[in-house]
């Protein structure tokens, strides 16, 4: 997984210029994507292996 940092200064500039917060090209879209991917990766890494074996 690639570690990207969210640029708050650039985000603030975009917000002040009137760019949308959400949507395909929204200001917060990269941050939401990064948070979602991190949460999913953590879930995969910390899922108890005994639960996987129970359903096999």
Question: Going residue by residue through the chain (56 aa), what tens digit of pLDDT does each one get?
Answer: 455 677 889 989 999 999 999 999 899 998 899 999 999 999 888 877 666 556 55
pTM above 0.85, yes or no: no
**Structural domain contains residue 8:** no
Q: Is residue 7 part of a domain?
A: no
Domain that holds residue 34: 28-56
d(CA 44, CA 47): 5
Number of domains in the chain: 1
47 lies in a domain?
Answer: yes
Q: Is 54 exposed, middle or buried (0-12, 13-18, 19+ CB in 10 A)?
A: exposed
Is 5 inside any structural domain? no
The answer to whether the Cα torsion of 20, 22, 24, 28 is positive or negative is positive
């Amino acid at each position: 997984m690639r570690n990207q940092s969210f640029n708050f200064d650039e985000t603030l500039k975009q917000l002040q210029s009137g760019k949308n917060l959400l949507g395909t090209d929204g200001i917060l879209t990269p941050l939401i994507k990064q948070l979602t991917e991190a949460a999913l990766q953590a879930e995969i890494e910390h899922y108890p292996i005994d639960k996987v074996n129970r359903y096999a």
